[in-house]
Chain A
């Protein structure tokens, strides 16, 4: 059966050029970047090039890029590292109800074990965080504000420039989990007043298991790991050279293609949104209609459970998701969908469709034709023989 992959928010296929660059590292570059001889220098040069590529893509300087094992580690390093660095001086953390578990569960852990005061700001029904609510949640002992750039489930974009300005004004460190948006959208740290930014290679056609944290010059982040002192002591451990090279190449390609791809994907996205809303009864769009990722169409389809729809679509050859991939398999409705004010029963019917570089018009047509049939079956409204 031909497969149609429509879950690019979960992960993206590795670009062939990225895979080739990584294979070259495994084949030809055996050295440890910390070694002083030729093999080490060769590896170091590759890591430095990747650092330059990532920095260039977001308007940072290379010394502001810390490589990590992915988005989750970048979020952990940002929250734990920033709060630890200002401990004694400030103890407050402000975040939102729709953050990824990598932020929310880290915040809960810090509240429980590190005496961090933890405030959650609610979002509007369209998924947007009101900057005024962030401003109201900040007090003079707030250390860190963490607001994601684009939500992983509903794709809603947050007004980071306004929130960042508030944080700067109040002397609060500002972190943004931009794992879903970097690569897809322009993200320039010279335009957005932000101190810490998490990103993840496998969301933009790079390898899994490698990401980065942007740390604005002057922002203090204490290390979580202790060891040999790599990454200027901020993330110690021998570098994942091939993965880092893959990240750098993927970042460069994403930047080159972004303008054309984003517009193309947004058109596919809009066809999915319009098609689903027109052809599936009792389906609603989740998240903001226009302030959203160019590849994200997300819905709540009433009187269905998302897991069943995902399974039934899988058997028809389509890969989509319900909630986020991390929580698939349990029946708890997504905290993001609930945060929009959607009731628990309806929230179980969440469905996320995310297009990518390989998605064609024909894929979208096939999906729009199949979904109504599948929904009817799952709702039990389809005729069943015998």
Chain B
């Protein structure tokens, strides 16, 4: 019997993960991560970092009869998720805080603690993804493609994957998850799914504005030829690839093609003007720890729940070059994740550097 720690958010997915592992006879321990210092205000932030979520997780653990602890990761979360999120917006990027949280908090800080301090053999979460342990450790999409969260887990390498379990990723769909929760009598069975960015709850722009007001200074909206066609309310309000309406009086559908934070300019254009096919990636990692080849064919997913786009990856000393077969707009700061069928091969963060 192995000791498995389950990161319990207070939601149904991680509660069911704990239930399934306990049912299989593992020595299961529930942990809840305190991510923000809400000072007792139950309404402050939204998702797994709030006190109420901790109470929900505690109740679920009690129903399952497993030990449960709250661990404090507010410091690392504030530094490596929240601050990076704000900085990234201020630099004209569109960050994915869930990727950062998985990377730095759940699978680095928490994993290290449970293994080293508390003698865990494995760590499990309620993510919809699959990991197989058959010689090499492989990360796969969830069985339910509609709930798949493997995109946000691309940074995991062999060392971490070898100690991971994603029990709900094996389930047919969310209905099965809820049915299992009901079967175990978990109070989280009917809890709604969380949608917002967990530490903000609602308007992310207001959150960023408070911390990086410079990202909310108005600037020009330009076409590719440099002609000014309007003004925007700040680059922090814009995302590359989004339909751009504000401040532009034109009949055509326009998209944000790129942002130039140095002069606060937003460059817009028509669908036909989207020409970028190559992107520089930084912080490139591979689930097998090494790339399959120096240059390899892939299906790249460029945002959470995005459609895979075919292309080539060329690995180099500082990262990798992604060369898509067809033009696509990708926001710097987003993760580009390489898939081979259902398997996650690796990925990296799209940089603001425009590849030649």
Q: How far apart are the CA atoms of A258 and B123 in the complex, in Å?
A: 47
A329 touching B70 by the CB < 8 A rule?
yes
Residues of B with C-beta under 8 A to A377:
116-119
A331 touching B72 by the CB < 8 A rule?
yes
Q: Which residue of A lies closest to B39 (CB)?
A: A330
B72 touching A315 by the CB < 8 A rule?
no
Is B304 positioned at the interface, with any CB of A under 8 Å from its CB? no
Report the minimal beta-carbon distance from B92 to chain A, rounded to whole angstroms.
35
Q: Which residue of A lies closest to B31 (CB)?
A: A311
The winner among B3, B67, B117 for most chain A CB atoms within 10 A is B117
Q: Which residue of B lies closest to A314 (CB)?
A: B67
Q: Which residue of A lies closest to B5 (CB)?
A: A315
A378 touching B72 by the CB < 8 A rule?
no
Nearest 8 A-B pairs (CB), nearest first?
A331-B72, A378-B117, A311-B69, A308-B117, A384-B116, A312-B118, A329-B70, A377-B117
Report the minimal beta-carbon distance from B17 to chain A, rounded to whole angstroms.
19
A315 touching B119 by the CB < 8 A rule?
yes
Report the minimal beta-carbon distance from B108 to chain A, rounded to whole angstroms.
14
Residues of B with C-beta under 8 A to A386:
159, 162
B67 touching A315 by the CB < 8 A rule?
yes
A380 touching B116 by the CB < 8 A rule?
yes
For residues 283 through 320 of chain A, which have their beta carbon under 8 Å from a beta carbon of chain B? 307-308, 311-312, 314-315
Q: How far apart are the CA atoms of A311 and B70 in the complex, in Å?
A: 10
Q: Which residue of A lies closest to B29 (CB)?
A: A315
For residues 67 through 83 of chain B, which have their beta carbon under 8 Å from a beta carbon of chain A? 67, 69-72, 74
Residues of B with C-beta under 8 A to A369:
none
Residues of B with C-beta under 8 A to A382:
116
Is B113 positioned at the interface, with any CB of A under 8 Å from its CB? yes
Q: Which residue of A lies closest to B112 (CB)?
A: A380
Q: Which residue of A lies closest to B159 (CB)?
A: A386
For residues 52 through 76 of chain B, which have their beta carbon under 8 Å from a beta carbon of chain A? 67, 69-72, 74
A308 touching B113 by the CB < 8 A rule?
yes
A312 touching B119 by the CB < 8 A rule?
yes
Q: Which residue of A lies closest to B40 (CB)?
A: A330
Report the minimal beta-carbon distance from B259 to chain A, rounded to whole angstroms.
39
Q: How far apart are the CA atoms of A307 and B72 in the complex, in Å?
A: 10
Residues of A with C-beta under 8 A to B159:
386
B162 touching A311 by the CB < 8 A rule?
no
A–B pairs, 26, beta carbons within 8 Å: A307-B69, A307-B71, A307-B72, A308-B113, A308-B118, A311-B69, A311-B118, A312-B118, A312-B119, A314-B67, A314-B69, A315-B3, A315-B29, A315-B67, A315-B119, A329-B70, A330-B72, A331-B72, A377-B118, A377-B119, A380-B116, A380-B117, A384-B115, A384-B116, A386-B159, A386-B162
Report the minimal beta-carbon distance from A83 to chain B, rounded to whole angstroms.
27
Q: Which residue of A lies closest to B75 (CB)?
A: A331
A315 touching B116 by the CB < 8 A rule?
no
For residues 202 through 239 of chain B, which have their beta carbon under 8 Å from a beta carbon of chain A? none
Chain A residues close to B by CB (< 8 Å): 307-308, 311-312, 314-315, 329-331, 377-378, 380, 382, 384, 386
Q: Which residue of B lies closest to A379 (CB)?
A: B117
Q: How far apart are the CA atoms of A352 and B162 in the complex, in Å?
A: 37
Residues of B with C-beta under 8 A to A384:
115-116
Residues of A with C-beta under 8 A to B74:
331
Q: How far apart are the CA atoms of A382 and B69 in the complex, in Å?
A: 22
Q: How far apart are the CA atoms of A384 and B70 in the complex, in Å?
A: 23
Residues of A with C-beta under 8 A to B72:
307, 330-331
Q: How far apart are the CA atoms of A329 and B72 in the complex, in Å?
A: 8
Residues of B with C-beta under 8 A to A380:
116-117
Further pairs besides A308-B118, A312-B118, A378-B117: 11, Cβ < 8 Å:
A308-B113, A312-B117, A314-B69, A315-B3, A315-B118, A329-B70, A331-B74, A377-B116, A377-B118, A377-B119, A386-B162
Chain B window 156-189, contacts with chain A (Cβ cutoff 8 Å), 1 for yes, 0 for no: 0001001000000000000000000000000000
Q: Which residue of B lies closest to A308 (CB)?
A: B117
Q: How far apart are the CA atoms of A308 and B29 in the complex, in Å?
A: 14
Q: How far apart are the CA atoms of A378 and B112 in the complex, in Å?
A: 11
Q: How far apart are the CA atoms of A377 and B72 in the complex, in Å?
A: 18
Q: How far apart are the CA atoms of A329 and B70 in the complex, in Å?
A: 7
Report the minimal beta-carbon distance from A61 to chain B, rounded to whole angstroms.
43
Report the minimal beta-carbon distance from B162 to chain A, rounded to whole angstroms.
7
Q: How far apart are the CA atoms of A382 and B116 in the complex, in Å?
A: 8
Report the minimal beta-carbon distance from A320 to chain B, rounded to whole angstroms.
14
Residues of B with C-beta under 8 A to A329:
70
Chain B window 102-137, contacts with chain A (Cβ cutoff 8 Å), 1 for yes, 0 for no: 000000000001011111000000000000000000
Q: How far apart are the CA atoms of A312 and B71 in the complex, in Å?
A: 12
Residues of A with C-beta under 8 A to B71:
307
The winner among B3, B115, B119 for most chain A CB atoms within 10 A is B119
Residues of B with C-beta under 8 A to A314:
67, 69
Residues of B with C-beta under 8 A to A378:
117
Residues of B with C-beta under 8 A to A307:
69, 71-72
Q: How far apart are the CA atoms of A378 and B119 in the complex, in Å?
A: 10
Q: How far apart are the CA atoms of A329 and B74 in the complex, in Å?
A: 13
Report the minimal beta-carbon distance from B71 to chain A, rounded to whole angstroms.
8
Q: Which residue of B lies closest to A382 (CB)?
A: B116
Residues of B with C-beta under 8 A to A312:
117-119
Q: How far apart are the CA atoms of A380 and B113 in the complex, in Å?
A: 9
Report the minimal beta-carbon distance from A314 to chain B, rounded to whole angstroms.
7
Q: How far apart are the CA atoms of A330 and B159 in the complex, in Å?
A: 31
Residues of A with C-beta under 8 A to B116:
377, 380, 382, 384
Chain B window 231-265, contacts with chain A (Cβ cutoff 8 Å), 1 for yes, 0 for no: 00000000000000000000000000000000000
Residues of A with C-beta under 8 A to B117:
308, 311-312, 377-378, 380
Report the minimal beta-carbon distance from B1 to chain A, rounded to whole angstroms.
12
Residues of A with C-beta under 8 A to B113:
308
Q: How far apart are the CA atoms of A329 and B159 in the complex, in Å?
A: 30
Report the minimal beta-carbon distance from B234 to chain A, rounded to whole angstroms.
36
The winner among B70, B74, B162 for most chain A CB atoms within 10 A is B70
Residues of A with C-beta under 8 A to B119:
312, 315, 377
Q: How far apart are the CA atoms of A308 and B69 in the complex, in Å?
A: 10
Report the minimal beta-carbon distance from B285 to chain A, rounded to whole angstroms.
19
Report the minimal beta-carbon distance from B2 to chain A, rounded to whole angstroms.
13
Residues of B with C-beta under 8 A to A331:
72, 74
Report the minimal beta-carbon distance from A195 to chain B, rounded to whole angstroms.
35
Residues of B with C-beta under 8 A to A330:
72
Q: How far apart are the CA atoms of A312 and B119 in the complex, in Å?
A: 8
Q: Which residue of A lies closest to B115 (CB)?
A: A384
